[in-house]
Amino acid sequence: MNIAELLARYADDGVTLWAQDGQLRFRAPQGRLTDTHRAELRTHKEAILRHLEAAQPALRADPDNRHEPFPLTDIQAAYLIGRTDAYAYGGVGCHAYVELEYPDLDVDRVASVWRELVQRHDVLRAVVHHDGYQRVLPDVPAPTVGTDDLTALEAAAADARVARTRARLSTRETPTDQWPLFEVHVTRTAERAVLHLAFDMLVVDHASLRLLLAEFRRGYGGTALSDAPRVTFRDYVLARRALAGTDGHARDRGYW
């Protein structure tokens, strides 16, 4: 039995097969997969799985090349173009600003946790070049945490200073090829402490920002973080690009 021919025959019949977690999965219009098909798949299951797994690009860690340039994702490319005047209403970066209030903050501890996060996540050491590539820097200075000690000011004056910091950081835009693409600032008043976080969304999205905030809370609270992920953003981007060149991706794209 030629497995490639079997898969092609099933594809012609509208049946898509793939390997997932060591199991053979399928997608087919209702009623298309007959009892005869199912029996054939059971008979050749192991051979089909070997064929599919061999043809599927693997997501694996590549620490030896982690600092080599790698392509942008589609959304990163869109954000980068949007910073230019190539389109009407362009010239604006995509930016995230987060402000969190605490009863008080230990600035040294904030800086220590943030240094750990920068070392833990390669993308926080990334810069983005206008030729369409990004790169994780092998070494960066310890990230600084700006601070304003306003504990001696009246509430109204302190609130005005907080508002000025908010206005500055919520519109922060720096060259994408210069690290860092984020800024951390702490404002302490007589009544509260404010943690200001500004990110270029070339290096974070909503999901990763939530992850960073959760890890910051754990680290600041004294809980040791788990081991850093072995697979990096670079590994993911390259694996996804390799997957886009497979026959399975082309079939799925045609289906949808």
Could you tell me if residue 132 is inside a domain?
yes
**In this structure, what token pair is assigned to residue 243?**
């997957």
Q: Which CATH number covers residue 98? A: 3.30.559.10
pLDDT of residue 111: 98
Could you tell me if residue 119 is inside a domain?
yes
Per-residue pLDDT reduced to its tens digit, 15-34:
888 888 888 988 888 888 88
pLDDT of residue 83: 92
- DSSP structure string for 52-76: HHHHSPP----GGGTTS-EEPPHHH
How far is 127 from 181, CA to CA, in rounded Å?
7
Amino acid identity for residue 98 in this structure: V
Q: Could you list the residue range(s) of the whole structural domain that residue 192 is in?
A: 91-228
How far is 122 from 229, CA to CA, in rounded Å?
10
Least confident of 21-35, 152-166, 185-199: 21-35
Could you tell me if residue 172 is inside a domain?
yes
pLDDT of residue 98: 97
Mean pLDDT value of segment 171-188: 96
Could you tell me if residue 2 is inside a domain?
no
Mean pLDDT score of the chain:
92
Grade residue 4 by pLDDT with cuts at 50, 70 and 90.
confident
Grade residue 103 by pLDDT with cuts at 50, 70 and 90.
very high
pLDDT of residue 62: 93
In terms of pLDDT, which residue wins out, 29 or 156? Answer: 156
pLDDT of residue 242: 82
Mean pLDDT value of segment 231-249: 85
How far is 89 from 78, CA to CA, in rounded Å?
14
Domain count, the chain: 1
Could you tell me if residue 68 is inside a domain?
no
- Contacts for 246 with CB less than 8 Å, ≥ 6 apart: 55, 56, 57
Could you tell me if residue 122 is inside a domain?
yes
The alpha-helical segments, DSSP class H, found in 64-136 are 74-82, 107-120
Among the listed residues 194, 199, 103, 102, the one whose alpha carbon sits nearest the alpha carbon of residue 143? 199
Mean pLDDT value of segment 47-53: 84
Among the listed residues 145, 149, 166, 170, the one whose alpha carbon sits nearest the alpha carbon of residue 158? 149
Classify residue 105 by burial, with Cβ atoms within 10 Å: 0-12, 13-18, 19+: buried
- How far is the first Cα of the chain from the last one, in angstroms, to the nearest whole number? 30
pLDDT of residue 57: 67
Per-residue pLDDT reduced to its tens digit, 111-129:
999 999 999 999 999 999 9
